[in-house]
Amino acid sequence: MSNKLLFGTDSDLNEILEAQNALNSLTAQKEAEVYAGMDCLEEGKVVIGKISQINEQEVLVDVNFKSEGVIPRSEFKDGEIPSVGSEIEVFIEKLENDDGRLVLSKQKADFVRVWERIHEAFENNEVVRGTLTKRIKGGVVVDLFGIDAFLPGSQIDLRQIPDINALIGQDYDLKVIKVNKARRNIVVSRRVVLEEERNRQRGDVLETLEKNQVRKGIVKNITDFGAFIDLGGVDGLLHITDMSYKRINHPSEMVSLGQEIEVIVLDFNDKKERISLGMKQLKPHPWKDVAERYPEGKIVKGKVVSITDYGAFIELDSGVEGLIHVSEMSWTQHVKHPSKILTVGQEVEAIVLKVEEDAERISLGLKQLETDPWESIETELPPGARVVGEIRNLASFGAFVEIKEGVDGLIHVSDMSWTKKITHPSELVKKGDRVECVVLAVDRDKRRISLSMKHLTEDPWDTVDSVYPVGTEVKGTIVRMLDRGVVVELADGIEGFVPVSKLTAEYIKIPADAFKVGDELPAIVTEIDQNNRKLYLSVVDYFKSRESAELQSWMDAHKPTETTLADAAAATPKKKSSKKKAAEETASEE
């Protein structure tokens, strides 16, 4: 069959041939484009592809390869899979797997781009944003563009962080300070960012810093003497004395680490390296108009904040303290230390005694809230009044007697007995004894009361000359031994003195040679010295009117020791013989 029969006319044949040539040319162009695209595809490269299909297991992406690439759907987070026709970056893992398919990865493409971004930030010293995700040994893990980076503990802040766990979940500006792609090691620092910011702020602060300027700052460090405040790259010292007008024991009572506070600039040196700050100066001075708020005589309430040897300080208001001196604590007690009356933290009432506003001193009284028992003591206890009290204390010079609650009187040793010589009050009384005594004198101003036990009875020395006239025979007991004689107590307590020469007819050197305390002596009164309260006695004169047998019996009962007899013999002159005497006289004449 001819061509005409097959294709019709010549013109029809030409049209068909032109169309076929055009189709062949287009096919060749497409194949060239495909092979050209295939030539630029290499494993390990990131290319742009278009999503062509999405199913339950895979996402198909066209990257101008002979076949579409496959990405597991698990590489996409829920709700983050782009729609069909969207362009995405993919990583070529394999050009052809065992099934002859092109294997792609979305996660690895993202990883490559992130590393490029991180390395670029590292090279250019850029600030990046990261999220602190969890705490590990030595620091914190940071999510940086989806990749884990390490933030060392020393690089978290400019100062030590008390609780790192509180930072987890927070976003911060960071700088990449170390990158190792092979080991996938990224180290970041927040401290570097803060230091740069601090240096920038430091210049601004130093340029604008002025005295009496009020600024905000962060408590950077706390010591025993104060707190260091970060004013923004510049540190200032807030001394403990400038924190509060009230008494504080430690700066931690007023501020805490990391706390933002408002302070006032008190002073600084020429280079502004030492800056003194104040906090209490931002409040009105508590001593202003204090005399109007606490007038003399006003009863006030306060808390004991400090106790010293001389008194207790009472906080009346924040920054206002008054002193209760130890002498103002009790009318009746002798307070040795304020801690015997008050304790720190105790709430007390007191009365304002004196206010010195300029000196910032307030004197308070505790005892003034009670009636002074000495106020009417002169009318209650006039001289001559008889009282009964308890011996509260003994001293070498006398005994203190509590007459009424808080009121003591003194019985001096000289007022304990008319007749006995008392060297210590314990010879007659002891602590806790109840005794009756007489008021001799009252000194309200000096708070002294003189008492007497002996004035309960008449003074026997007033009538001694009539009771014991010279020549009266008496009997008494030896109560004290002296070298020159003995003291004898008579029946009514009056004491008499017997000289050693009047004790016996025989020679004795000292009374102890023949007598002892407790011996009973018969004697006769030989002399009375009423002014000096002395009664002289003689045993020898007593026996002058007695039978010789009675005297001998007395002497036998009180014989001197052998030593005393030898002394007496030595003291007696020996008689010389007549022949010896004549010879001495002849020799004298020659």
Output the pLDDT for position 116.
80
* CA-wise closest residue to 151 among 167, 166, 162: 167
Q: Is the dihedral of CA 523, 527, 530, 531 positive or negative?
A: negative
* CATH superfamily placement of domain 463-571: Nucleic acid-binding proteins (2.40.50.140)
The angle subtended at Cα 68 by Cα 62 and Cα 71, nearest 5°, is 90
Q: Is the dihedral of CA 333, 336, 341, 342 positive or negative?
A: positive
Give yes or no for residue 454 having a pLDDT over 70: yes
Segments of the chain assigned to CATH 2.40.50.140 = 41-110, 125-194, 209-282, 290-365, 377-456, 463-571
Q: Are 52 and 61 in contact (CB under 8 A)?
A: yes
Q: Which helix (H) or strand (E) holds 401?
A: strand 398-404
* Least confident residue range of 9-13, 196-200, 296-300: 9-13
| The 3-state secondary structure of 505-547, one letter per residue | CCCCCCHHHCCCCCCEEEEEEEEEECCCCEEEEEHHHHHHCCC
Give yes or no for residue 500 having a pLDDT over 70: yes
Give yes or no for residue 134 having a pLDDT over 80: yes
- For 389, residues 6+ apart whose C-beta sits below 8 A from its C-beta are 401, 402, 403, 404, 409, 434, 435, 437
User: What is the mean predicted confidence (pLDDT) over 16-32?
Assistant: 52
Output the pLDDT for position 140.
92
Distance CA 397, CA 414 (A): 9
Architecture of the domain whose range is 290-365: Beta Barrel (2.40)
Q: Are 41 and 57 in contact (CB under 8 A)?
A: no
- pLDDT tens digits, residue range 540-558? 888 887 877 887 888 888 8
* CATH superfamily placement of domain 125-194: Nucleic acid-binding proteins (2.40.50.140)
User: What is the mean predicted confidence (pLDDT) over 277-298?
Assistant: 88
Q: How confident is the model at residue 21 (pLDDT cuts 50, 70, 90)?
A: low
Look-up of token digits 């003034």: 368
Q: Are 494 and 419 in contact (CB under 8 A)?
A: yes
Percent of the chain with pLDDT over 90: 22
The angle subtended at Cα 21 by Cα 19 and Cα 27, nearest 5°, is 105
Give yes or no for residue 15 having a pLDDT over 70: no
Look-up of token digits 């003195």: 497
Q: Are 502 and 463 in contact (CB under 8 A)?
A: no
43 beta partners: none
Q: Are 500 and 558 in contact (CB under 8 A)?
A: no
In this structure, which amino acid lies at residue 190? R
Helix, strand, coil shares, percent, the chain, to 5: 30, 35, 35
90 beta partners: 47
145-149-155-160 Cα dihedral, nearest 10 degrees: 100
Output the pLDDT for position 3.
41
Look-up of token digits 């026996």: 543
Q: What is the DSSP string of 435-468?
A: EEEEEEEEETTTTEEEEESGGGS--GGGGHHHHS
Give yes or no for residue 29 having a pLDDT over 70: no
Give yes or no for residue 1 having a pLDDT over 50: no
User: What is the mean predicted confidence (pLDDT) over 520-535?
Assistant: 89
The dotted CATH code for 209-282 is: 2.40.50.140
Output the pLDDT for position 277.
93
The angle subtended at Cα 429 by Cα 425 and Cα 434, nearest 5°, is 135
Six-digit token string for 40 = 């630029």
* CA-wise closest residue to 196 among 161, 232, 229, 170: 232
Six-digit token string for 28 = 């060749």
- pLDDT tens digits, residue range 139-155? 999 988 878 889 998 88
End-to-end C-alpha distance for the chain, whole angstroms: 223
Give yes or no for residue 584 having a pLDDT over 80: no
Q: How confident is the model at residue 46 (pLDDT cuts 50, 70, 90)?
A: confident
What's the half-sphere exposure (Cβ side, CA atoms, 13 Å) at 256?
3
Higher-pLDDT residue of 41 and 386 is 386
Distance CA 487, CA 484 (A): 10
Q: How confident is the model at residue 37 (pLDDT cuts 50, 70, 90)?
A: very low
Output the pLDDT for position 157.
87
Higher-pLDDT residue of 67 and 566 is 67
Output the pLDDT for position 287.
85
User: What is the mean predicted confidence (pLDDT) over 39-52?
Assistant: 74
Phi, psi of 566, rounded to the nearest 5 degrees: -65, -40
- For 464, residues 6+ apart whose C-beta sits below 8 A from its C-beta are 494, 528, 530, 535
Task: Report the 10 Å Cβ neighbour count for 92.
Answer: 22
Give yes or no for residue 485 having a pLDDT over 90: yes
Q: Is the dihedral of CA 146, 148, 149, 150 positive or negative?
A: positive
Give yes or no for residue 70 having a pLDDT over 70: yes
CA 233 to each of CA 154, 203, 205, 272, 275: distance values in angstroms, whole numbers, following the listed order: 18, 8, 8, 12, 12
Output the pLDDT for position 301.
92
Q: What is the DSSP string of 473-516?
A: EEEEEEEEEETTEEEEE-TTS-EEEEEGGGT-SS--SSGGGT--
Q: What is the pTM of this model?
A: 0.43
* CA-wise closest residue to 176 among 101, 116, 246, 102: 116
Beta strand pairing call for 275-278 and 235-239: parallel
* CATH superfamily placement of domain 377-456: Nucleic acid-binding proteins (2.40.50.140)
User: What is the mean predicted confidence (pLDDT) over 45-52?
Assistant: 81
Q: Are 415 and 455 in contact (CB under 8 A)?
A: yes
Distance CA 347, CA 366 (A): 12
Beta strand pairing call for 386-395 and 398-404: antiparallel
* Least confident residue range of 6-20, 418-432, 451-465, 535-549: 6-20
CATH topology for 41-110? OB fold (Dihydrolipoamide Acetyltransferase, E2P) (2.40.50)
